[in-house]
Structure 1
Amino acid sequence: MSTPRFLNLPPGVEPRKIETPQGTFAALDALPMSGVVERWTALLVPGLTGSKEDFLAILQTLVQSGRRVVAIDLRGQYETPGPDDPAAYSCAALGADIDLLAQELGDGEPIHLVGHSFGGLVAREAVIDGRTKFASFTLMSSGPAAIVGRRARHARRLMEEIPEKGLEYVWHARFEPEAMTADVPDDILAFLRKRLLANSPVGLASMSEQVLTMRDRIDELRQIEVPTLVLYGEHDDGWPAETQSEMAAALGSDYTVVPGAAHSPAVEAPETTAAALVRFWNEAESRSLDKRSNVM
């Protein structure tokens, strides 16, 4: 079977395995074409049924700003293995993985952290737990607490059906009909099937439960001194746009609404999304350097 067109990796992007004390994580590692890294690294965390490939469309634009950018698969997700222990897939446990990855990638320097959808809830745990100092934190199409609406119903079906009927049934009953309705090309359809079936069933069911039960942690996040961006599509069908804008106001954070995008702005509006991230990262680094200069 041929490789899906969108999986032809751009120049400078390489598949990689990252070793940590908690195991090996599959990643896409992107570097500037010059080979010279001038700015702090960024770590991108995907959503519930996603993977590192969800960020492919923005990687090349992001590295043009002179930084290394790494997108990962979470534990139990696609090409990263995971155990058959539901406790291993709590947001706290997955957030601890992000701490280890950030420390490995940062090599003593703070890194920028981006979490998409469920990945935002996971990344938030790493920010709040205080084990790692991040250069910035971006919540991309993510919310303050449990997901709602259509995507909540979808997550509940995953939580209930996977243990009883398995991933093959979920593909044919849920994912394939939706993809066919959206006229997804055959090569991408084949990738989506391969990706779903490669997930840990225990992991996907457990993470679905997490996204349905996550409590509001805005007050705790607000106490952390890290530049924060709330970024979402104007037509987001996960957490309502109003909920995300209210979250940004409660955090006193920057926010960006991506025109024309829904729940996956990195896929639906890659150039706009990448430009917003680079602008935010550059500003965060400038503020950090100014603070260092004032201290000196």
Structure 2
Amino acid sequence: MSETTETKVLRTAVEVNGETASYLTVEQDGPAVLLLHGTYWSRVWLPVLARLAQAGLRPIAVDLPGLGRSGGELTPETATVPALADWVAHFASTLKLSGPIAVAGHDIGGAIAQHLFAHDRLEVPRLALVNSVTYDSWPVPGVARFRDPEVVAATTADAFLAARRQAVTTALAGAATKERIADYLDPWTTQRVRRSWMTLAGAADSRYTLDLVPALQRSTKPKLLIWGEDDGFQKLEYAERFTSEIPQTTLVRIPDAGHIPTENAPDQVARALSDFFTA
């Protein structure tokens, strides 16, 4: 798997808690940047990885346990934001990442990133959020419905894939192509990953971000929000509220982009992240 000229993006893996943790990276020296996904997988970061590496960073886009290409399977206990933040900390330790580690989160991955940032689970000097969940902006209806065990039990593979296809198509906005949609859907063709996704959805709870607000308001560390303005899942108004209420926050708006602006405007998103993380 490669991106742009001369900079090769690799998929590799390590073992965390007895299971394979798969991640995308560019193997080079430089400040580490952990890139966290939410209800998608590491694929959301692929368009910007090589560009971040070309700025001298070491980007690491990991698949959370049970999701994407990682092994294992989430349970209601391991699918919560605090539990996933602990898992990310174990992953970073396994890679022997020491010292400051910048973190960026997309979607529910943004909740995990905020948790790591606010609770000093890792030394996180800078936090970037890309169309992330914040406050009580989540879970959105398409995710919240899986908090009902009867819905989970009644969801067939075909129905699940159809729902995710619609969500991915909407999230990609103008970047949606037949090939790209199929690429995003591929991990969910595996039953274990579908079950993990529904467990993640079932554990989605806005209290995990609402509880972080006081700590974020006290923080004087730099924060960056990058937002696709046309996102129908995580509305721009939440990013504007965050920027007005949380100190040291800068908002970069991405016009004509949806929930996954890394696909709509990779150059602009990568430039904003690179400038922020190398400042």
Aligned to 1:46: 37
Residue identity matched to 1:71? A
Equivalent of 2:197 in 201, 204, 216: 204
Aligned to 2:71: 81
1:254-269 map, 5 Å: 254-269=250-265
**Gapped regions of structure 1 (runs ≥ 5):** 1-6, 284-296
Aligned to 1:274: 270
Residue identity matched to 1:156? A
Aligned to 2:180: 188
Give 1:106 shift. Answer: 5.7
For residues 37-94 of structure 1, the C-alpha deviation after alignment (integer angstroms, 9 at most, x for no partner) is 3x4111111121x111111111111111112111111111121123352111011100
TM (normalized to structure 1)? 0.80
Equivalent of 1:153 in 133, 141, 155: 141
For 1:121 and 1:178, locate their aligned partners in 2 and report how far apart those are by CA, in whole Å. Answer: 20
Residue identity matched to 2:164? F
Give 1:114 shift. Answer: 0.4
SS at match of 1:255: strand
Q: Is the 8 A contact 1:85 1:202 kept in 2?
A: no
Q: Is the 8 A contact 2:3 2:47 kept in 1?
A: no
1:29 aligns with 2:19: no
Equivalent of 2:48 in 30, 37, 58: 58
1:242 aligns with 2:242: no
Residue identity matched to 1:245? E
Residue identity matched to 1:147? S
Equivalent of 2:159 in 169, 184, 194: 169
Residue identity matched to 1:98? V
Number of equivalences:
268
For 2:74 and 2:253, locate their aligned partners in 1 and report how far apart those are by CA, in whole Å. Answer: 38
Give 1:185 shift. Answer: 4.0
Aligned to 1:143: 133
Equivalent of 2:114 in 111, 119, 124: 124
Residue identity matched to 2:258? A
Q: Is the 8 A contact 2:227 2:252 kept in 1?
A: yes
Q: Is the 8 A contact 1:44 1:72 kept in 2?
A: yes
Give 1:274 shift. Answer: 0.5
Residue identity matched to 2:186? K
RMSD: 2.6
For 1:106 and 1:43, locate their aligned partners in 2 and report how far apart those are by CA, in whole Å. Answer: 13
For residues 5-59 of structure 1, the C-alpha deviation after alignment (integer angstroms, 9 at most, x for no partner) is xx6555421111033346431101114xxx5x3x4111111121x1111111111
Q: Is the 8 A contact 1:87 1:93 kept in 2?
A: yes
SS at match of 2:259: coil
Residue identity matched to 1:76? G
Percent identity among equivalent residues?
A: 20
For 1:190 and 1:239, locate their aligned partners in 2 and report how far apart those are by CA, in whole Å. Answer: 23
Q: Is the 8 A contact 2:187 2:193 kept in 1?
A: no
Give 1:165 shift. Answer: 2.0
Query: Relative to 1, partners in 2 of residues 1:176 and 1:282: Cα closer, same or farther, differing over 3 Å?
Result: closer
Q: Is the 8 A contact 1:143 1:244 kept in 2?
A: no
Aligned to 2:16: 20
For residues 201-257 of structure 1, the C-alpha deviation after alignment (integer angstroms, 9 at most, x for no partner) is 442123213435444121122334532112211222222212211112211112211
SS at match of 1:273: helix
Q: Is the 8 A contact 2:227 2:236 kept in 1?
A: yes
For 1:12 and 1:180, locate their aligned partners in 2 and report how far apart those are by CA, in whole Å. Answer: 27
For 2:12 and 2:133, locate their aligned partners in 1 and report how far apart those are by CA, in whole Å. Answer: 30
For 1:178 and 1:137, locate their aligned partners in 2 and report how far apart those are by CA, in whole Å. Answer: 26
For 1:109 and 1:79, locate their aligned partners in 2 and report how far apart those are by CA, in whole Å. Answer: 27
Q: Is the 8 A contact 2:144 2:204 kept in 1?
A: no
Q: Is the 8 A contact 1:156 1:208 kept in 2?
A: yes
SS at match of 1:88: coil
Residue identity matched to 2:33? A
For 1:56 and 1:8, locate their aligned partners in 2 and report how far apart those are by CA, in whole Å. Answer: 9
